[in-house]
Structure 1
Amino acid sequence: MDCLTLILLVLGFSLHSCSRFPPRKYYYVNLAMNWANAQLYCREKYSDLATITSMDDVSRLQPAFTYSWAWIGLADDPKSWRDSMGNDSNSWRSSATGETSKTGYKNWSGNIPSSTNGNENCVHMCSDGTWNDFPCGSYQSFVCYYVTNENKKTYVFISTLKTWTNARDYCRKYYTDLPMIENNVENTAVFSTKPANAEPWIGLYRVPWTWSDKTQSSFTNWLTNSPENYGGTQYCNAENPLHEWNDITCSAKFPFICHQVFKLKTTVRMTLKTRADLTDPATNSQILQQIEAELKRRGWTDFKMRWMIQPKKFENAKLTELPSF
């Protein structure tokens, strides 16, 4: 049983409710298809290719099956991070904003980014000023930036070797952040700051892999040493009979797992104590927006909400019959 607690700060009241999220029911489909066709089949016959966001979901999958692999709905589409700067959840983002590029500027080196070994999710600047994706746990020098009173970005080279995360934290503590590079002028400024042979971290990173139904989840169940992106073409995900995940070339043909999300109509009865006017449409809309945002953050999808405010009941009211004239 998962408990949901919402604190509606603007209106000054809290809501506490315990309920199960809408369950997903899983279906094994014994048809050999590539990942894209399996996705299409699941969307036509069910809800989508299987989304698995917890060990509870894993426990509701069928016991060990006889197939070598079965597709699930996790993929790392390279169109979102290799062919362009993209604006999907697995695209490159700036450390300073957490957002994808506003200009689409990029300065990759050769056939980079490549996601070699499936773990190159941070970016450093090469000695010639181009960019390279690199394992975030590697130790590199880095560049920080800060903004002057004249609203001008100033860059500082730090020679100490740190992981990308530790470099980011250092920049945030002593400056502003790792550099956000949105044009050639900024790239040249960062390049001019570093020594000739240095290859410092910059502020680009990404969180790979997204679910087909756009569910956001940090849960993973990878096999040891996976993902590895063997051959540079493994951008789709399948599970083995023990429900462990592995990245595989998307054109391979396997059976697959779909899920069906059951749409339930639920009435939640609440007693609210607040100075806010709950009959005011603007107030009601504000409350619903906060509740919907929290439910989406916790994994709910495809739902609608509306108010049904019951007339207030007055208890112990005394009816006095007036004389007629």
Structure 2
Amino acid sequence: MEKIFFVIVLLTGFCVVSASSTWLYYFIKRFMTFDEANDYCMSKYNSFMSVDNNSMNDFFWTYLKDRTDRVWVGLLARTLPWTGMDRQPAKYFNWKFNQPNGGIDELCATMVYDGEWQDLTCSFHRPSVCSNGSHYYITETEMTWMDAVANCETKNSSLVQIQNSTMNNEIMNLLSNVTEVWIGLNRSVDWYWADTGKSATFLNWQNGQPDNLNGNEFCAAMVTEDGTWTDEQCDELYYFVCKELEIIIPEGAGSSNEDGTKVLQSKQTMVKLQIQTTVNMEDPVASDILVQRFCAMLAKQGVTDFRLTWRKLPEKETQNKRKGDS
């Protein structure tokens, strides 16, 4: 297995902290499913890759674009609870046996002729039931769930939200000319990070994505051609990136203020890089180019108040490092 190490470093001239931290990223050139990659990252390092903003996405894209066509992003989908037209979690259900069963593809609900419910893809066309608070009426014209919502609103009503068995039976008795109707019940898909369980606030989907085209596309990957993301079946095999948090505690730096918080006047961070390349890094020109590119990457992230120097590890230390990694 080939493993490549790279790093994002944030350096500042002045800070008010007692310690600093750096995320170390590891590009794992080994084909794994999403779950296998997540388990590998959790056991070997700290967590799976996550992307918080456009600058970070561009960093990964720039690094990975010539190395593979897709990599797993540590992002996956979950369905949120069913809600009614008031956007509150529904409390009454009358699902058919083995329903709901559609995962992230079937996010809207219908009632069938016997009064039971099933989940359905929201873009399908079905009749619908509107309610104005005192009366129910069927719209036999078939349309999508969203169009049915809009159609009811044009009539000063809403797609019916069924609250109890009595109301459910009343709606069922109206289904004389139709066999299935949209009702006011749906749910949403939430994309969240595997390492934290938190909903993603930054997304970089390719146009038309996520589309769940082949079904069960619950996991996300980066297309390294342009850095955009696609939804994928989680058992696909892709390379991936792990991350590890390194805590750096300066020794004897700065002084303490009245509340005991250490104020650092300056901070020095040493980063060890393992570089896989055919270029002779003993060549001063090559090492200067590396330093220039690293400085440009930091400047692009808004980090300017720093000085960067390059030093090769002694051969003995390098060998010891390799033994420790094996």
**Distance between the aligned counterparts of 2:105 and 2:44, measured in 1?**
34
Preserved contact between residue 127 and residue 196 of structure 1 (Cα < 8 Å) = no
Q: Provide the C-alpha distance between the structure 2 equivalents of 1:174 and 1:28, rounded to a whole number of angstroms.
A: 56
| Deviation per residue, 1:262-283 (Å, 9 max, x gap) | 99xxxxxxxxxxxxxxxxxxxx
1:27–1:209 distance in 2 versus 1, CA, 3 Å:
farther
- Aligned amino acid, residue 83 of structure 2: S
Q: Which residue of 2 aligns with 1:161?
A: 142
- Return closer, same or farther for 1:48/1:100 CA change in 2, 3 Å cut-off: farther
* 1:35-46 aligned within 5 A: 35-42=34-41
1:74–1:209 Cα contact (<8 Å) kept: no
Cα distance, 1:37–1:112 mapped onto 2, change above 3 Å: same
* Residues 55 and 187 of structure 1, relative CA distance in 2, 3 Å threshold: farther
Compute the displacement of 1:182 (Å): 4.9
Q: Does 1:98 align with 2:87?
A: yes
Cα separation, partners in 2 of 1:249 and 1:137, compared to 1, 3 Å: closer
Identify the residue that residue 300 of structure 1 maps to in structure 2. Answer: none
CA contact (8 A) 1:42 1:48 kept: yes
Residues 39 and 127 of structure 1, relative CA distance in 2, 3 Å threshold: same
- Which residue in the other structure is 1:237 paired with? 220
Establish whether residue 256 from structure 1 lines up as the match of residue 240 from structure 2. Answer: yes
- How many equivalent pairs are there? 221
CA separation of 1:249/1:56 partners in 2, compared to 1, >3 Å: closer, same or farther? same
1:79-90 to 2 correspondences below 5 Å: 90=79
Q: CA shift at 1:256, angstroms?
A: 1.8
Q: Going by fraction, where is strand more abundant, 1 or 2? A: 2
Q: Indicate the RMSD between aligned Cα atoms, in angstroms.
A: 3.9
Q: Which structure 1 segments of 5+ residues have no match?
A: 1-22, 78-89, 149-153, 264-325
Match of 1:74 in 2: 75
Alignment deviations for residues 282-317 of structure 1 (CA, whole Å, 9 cap, x no partner): xxxxxxxxxxxxxxxxxxxxxxxxxxxxxxxxxxxx
- Tell me the secondary structure at the aligned position of residue 38 of structure 1: helix
Q: Report whether the alignment pairs 1:193 with 2:193.
A: no
Letter in structure 1 aligned against 2:172: F
What secondary structure sits across from 1:101 in the alignment?
A: coil
Q: Which residue of 1 aligns with 2:287?
A: none
1:62 maps to what in 2?
61
On the 8 A contact 2:204/2:228 being kept in 1, the answer is no
Which one of 109, 126, 131 corresponds to residue 112 of structure 2? 126
Residue identity in the other structure for 2:183: I
- Pairwise CA distance, 1:141: 1.9
Give the structure-1-normalised TM-score: 0.53
The answer to whether the 8 Å contact 1:92/1:204 transfers is no
Matches within 5 A, 1:202-217: 202-212=183-193, 213-217=197-201
Q: Which runs of 5+ in 2 are unaligned?
A: 1-21, 248-326
Q: Shift of residue 26 of structure 1?
A: 6.1
Change (3 A) 1:198 1:33: same
Deviations 1:32-87 (A, max 9, x none): 4432343345456777534446654432323214334322122234xxxxxxxxxx
TM-score normalised by the chain length of structure 2: 0.53
The amino acid that maps onto 2:48 is L
Identity %: 21
| Cα offset, 1:143, TM superposition | 1.0
- Give the Cα separation in 2 of the matches to 1:76 and 1:156: 36
- Larger radius of gyration between Structure 1 and Structure 2: 2
Q: Match for residue 95 of structure 2? A: 107
1:124–1:200 contact (8 Å) kept in structure 2: yes
Tell me the residue number matched to 2:18.
Answer: none
